[in-house]
Amino acid sequence: MLGASPESRVRRVLAAVKGPAIALTLVLASRTVLAQPFYVPSGSMEPTLLIGDELVVAKYAYGFSRYSLPVDLGFSSEHRLLESLPEYGDVVVFRLPRDPRQVYVKRAIGLPGDRIQMREGRLWINGAELPLRRDGQGKVEQEDGSEIGAARFMEMLPNGREHPIFKLESKGALDDTRVFVVPPGHVFLMGDNRDDSLDSRVSAVAGGVGFVPAENLIGRAEVVLGSWNFPVARRPSEWASALRPARFFARIR
């Protein structure tokens, strides 16, 4: 029996790996260019996002940087490919500037040149107090599965977009701040759970977020793909009851 020639063996090997290679390329391309899922581990964005939500993030929304890639290759640039900045009210997923290994999600509140300040619990942008109206009462989910009551408000940003916020107390630690002037190429991000959010109101030196460079933006959170209230699922028999079907495929606003 004659053996196969070296050339035919190479062709068979290439044919065998061609399909998986194409599939892998498509997966990596979609995660780099289109969208990527992320999981919410904390309640800093309640009531908009809950602990256990899985988000679909549009990675193309603000262009592409080193953090758009599945693996950080280490190169850095002040500008992004097809660069654009968030709009007021966008829910943004980003790499923490002081520790890029960590991924955070917050709402875009300030753009380059804006002056941001908290006065007696109210948000001021460029010398104007933002409209705020009461919107009932809500509950903040804690990481251990317990809940605490919180006043719910609707806040209107300078572009007319409204979004909900929670207030746990009338005089929180971050309810009165200095004026923050957002530097060029940066954004100012805050959590909707105003009294329980480590965000741009706290400097990186103090262990907070500080101003976020455009390079660190991963994308805009678009949809809740699924949601699971894992703290209440202590046993396998409780896993199904921990699902939140009403949040599946919910649009993030």
Q: Is residue 77 part of a domain?
A: yes
- Is 84 part of the annotated catalytic residue set? no
Evaluated on CA atoms 164, 170, 174, 180, the torsion sign reads: positive
| pLDDT confidence of residue 96 | 96
Residue 240: which residues within 8 A CB-CB, separation 6 or more?
none
Q: Is residue 25 part of a domain?
A: yes
Q: Is residue 230 part of a domain?
A: yes
Q: Which helix (H) or strand (E) holds 250?
A: strand 250-251
Terminal CA-CA length for the chain? 69
The 3-state DSSP composition of the chain as helix, strand, coil percent (nearest 5) reads: 20, 40, 45
| pLDDT confidence of residue 242 | 83
Q: Is residue 152 part of a domain?
A: no
| pLDDT confidence of residue 13 | 38
Which residues span the domain enclosing 184? 9-130+172-251
Q: Which of 106, 167, 197, 227 is catalytic?
A: 106
Q: Is residue 136 part of a domain?
A: no
CATH number at 19 reads 2.10.109.10
Q: Is residue 115 part of a domain?
A: yes
DSSP assignment, residue 236? G
| pLDDT confidence of residue 31 | 42
Q: Tell me which residues of the chain have a pLDDT lower than 70.
A: 1-35, 69-80, 231-237, 239
The separation between CA 139 and the C-alpha centre of its own chain, rounded to angstroms, equals 21
| pLDDT confidence of residue 76 | 61
Bridge partners of 99, per DSSP, are: 96
pTM exceeding 0.75: yes
CB 139 within 8 A of CB 148: yes
- Is 146 part of the annotated catalytic residue set? no
Q: Is residue 159 part of a domain?
A: no
| pLDDT confidence of residue 38 | 87
Domain count, the chain: 1
- 82-137 per-position pLDDT tens digit: 788 999 999 999 999 999 999 999 999 999 999 999 999 999 999 999 999 999 99
Question: What are the two backbone dihedrals, phi and then psi, of residue 36, each rounded to the nearest 5 degrees?
Answer: -150, 140
Q: Is residue 107 part of a domain?
A: yes
